[in-house]
Amino acid sequence: MKKSIQLWGAFLMAGTLLFTSCKKDDMAVAPTPTLYARLGGNSAISAVIDQFIANVAGDARINAFFADAAADPARLTKLRNNLINQVGMATGGMEKYTGLDMKAAHKGMGIEDSHFTALVEDLSLSLDKFKVPTAEKTELLTALAAMKPDIVEGATTLYARLGGNAAITAVIDDFIGKVAADSRINAFFAAAAADPARLNRLKLNLVNQVGQASGGPEKYSGLDMKTAHKGMKITDAQFNALVEDLQASLVKFKVESRTKIQLLTALGGMRADIVGQ
Ligand code: HEM
pLDDT given at position 16: 42
How far is 97 from 90, CA to CA, in rounded Å? 9
- Domain boundary among the residues 119, 151, 183 is at 151
* C-beta 65 within 6 A of ligand 1: yes
CA distances from residue 93 to 22, 33, 97 in whole angstroms, order as listed? 24, 11, 11
Residue 128 domain boundaries: 2-151
105-119 tens-digit pLDDT:
999 999 999 999 999
- Domain boundary among the residues 151, 169, 191 is at 151
State in Å: Cα 234 to ligand 1 middle.
Answer: 40
CA-closest residue to ligand 1 atom 27: 116
* C-beta 66 within 6 A of ligand 1: yes
* C-beta 105 within 6 A of ligand 1: yes
pLDDT given at position 27: 59
pLDDT given at position 31: 84
- Domain boundary among the residues 131, 151, 171 is at 151
Provide the 3-class DSSP secondary structure of residue 276. coil
107 and 202: one domain? no
* C-beta 160 within 6 A of ligand 1: no
The reported pTM is 0.86
> Which amino acid is it at 16?
T
14 and 84: one domain? yes
Q: Among the atoms of ligand 1, which is closest to the Cα of residue 109?
A: 35
On whether the CB atoms of residues 59 and 118 are closer than 8 A, the answer is yes
* C-beta 99 within 6 A of ligand 1: yes
* C-beta 104 within 6 A of ligand 1: no
115 and 176: one domain? no
54 and 105: one domain? yes
Residue 177: alpha-carbon gap to chain centroid: 27
* C-beta 69 within 6 A of ligand 1: yes
147 and 180: one domain? no
**String of DSSP letters for 159-221:** HHHHTHHHHHHHHHHHHHHHHHT-TTTGGGGHHHHT-HHHHHHHHHHHHHHHHHHTT-S----
pLDDT given at position 10: 44
pLDDT given at position 30: 81
139 and 228: one domain? no
Q: Among the atoms of ligand 1, which is closest to the Cα of residue 258?
A: 35
pLDDT given at position 32: 86
What total number of domains does the chain contain? 2
How far is 276 from 243, CA to CA, in rounded Å? 16
Q: Among the atoms of ligand 1, which is closest to the Cα of residue 66?
A: 35
State in Å: Cα 49 to ligand 1 middle.
Answer: 12
Q: Among the atoms of ligand 1, which is closest to the Cα of residue 56?
A: 30
* C-beta 56 within 6 A of ligand 1: no
143 and 163: one domain? no
State in Å: Cα 22 to ligand 1 middle.
Answer: 36
Low-confidence residues of the chain: pLDDT under 50: 1-25
104 and 201: one domain? no
118 and 178: one domain? no
- CATH (domain of 235): 1.10.490.10
State in Å: Cα 79 to ligand 1 middle.
Answer: 8
179 and 88: one domain? no
Pocket test for ligand 1, best of 49, 79, 80, 103 (most atoms within 8 A of CB): 79
* C-beta 156 within 6 A of ligand 1: no
Query: In sequence order, what are the residues at sequence separation of 6 or more whose Cβ sits closer than 8 angstroms to the Cβ of residue 219?
Result: 208, 212
141 and 224: one domain? no
60 and 146: one domain? yes
235-266 tens-digit pLDDT:
999 999 999 999 999 999 999 999 999 999 99
State in Å: Cα 119 to ligand 1 middle.
Answer: 10
